[in-house]
Amino acid sequence: ETGVTQTPRHLVMGMTNKKSLKCEQHLGHNAMYWYKQSAKKPLELMFVYNFKEQTENNSVPSRFSPECPNSSHLFLHLHTLQPEDSALYLCASSQVFDRTYEQYFGPGTRLTVT
């Protein structure tokens, strides 16, 4: 595997379910991000982790719970979601002290909440 991978690619869940999204980066980066992309809206930053420590929480509801066990893996735990949470969830990584801070994105998980 190369780059940034995300699983599952598609997820349908009911409002009472609990599920998790997984992201893994194979680039040796030390920062990882969760973004939400809804139709017709700009990308919304959700969380940022640097060296496994959360550094940004963009006022995300508590029904979204991130976890970063190491610099290569990032999870987003989901519970009691709402239909408006249906979106494409994108993971990205970057090198914090890289001159460009360039981000590399995964393919996304298409989430549908029924």
Partner 1 sequence: KQEVTQIPAALSVPEGENLVLNCSFTDSAIYNLQWFRQDPGKGLTSLLLIQSSQREQTSGRLNASLDKSSGRSTLYIAASQPGDSATYLCAVRPPAWGGSYIPTFGRGTSLIVHP
Residues engaged in binding partner 1 (CB under 8 A)? 4, 6, 40-43, 45, 48, 56, 88, 90, 92, 96, 99-108, 110
Comparing CB distances to partner 1, the nearer of 16 and 59 is 59
Comparing CB distances to partner 1, the nearer of 8 and 56 is 56
Q: CB-based contacts of 113: which residues, under 8 Å, 6+ apart?
A: 13, 14, 15, 81, 82, 83, 84, 85, 86
Comparing CB distances to partner 1, the nearer of 51 and 101 is 101
Question: C-beta of 70: minimal distance to partner 1 in Å?
Answer: 21
Question: C-beta of 20: minimal distance to partner 1 in Å?
Answer: 19
Comparing CB distances to partner 1, the nearer of 81 and 90 is 90
DSSP per-residue string spanning 25-60: E-S--SEEEEEEE-TTS--EEEEEEETTEEEEE-S-
Q: How far is CA 34 from CA 16, 30, 112, in A?
A: 22, 14, 17
Report residue 90 as tokens.
Answer: 């994108």
Question: C-beta of 109: minimal distance to partner 1 in Å?
Answer: 10
CB contact at 8 A, 16 and 113:
no
Question: C-beta of 80: minimal distance to partner 1 in Å?
Answer: 25
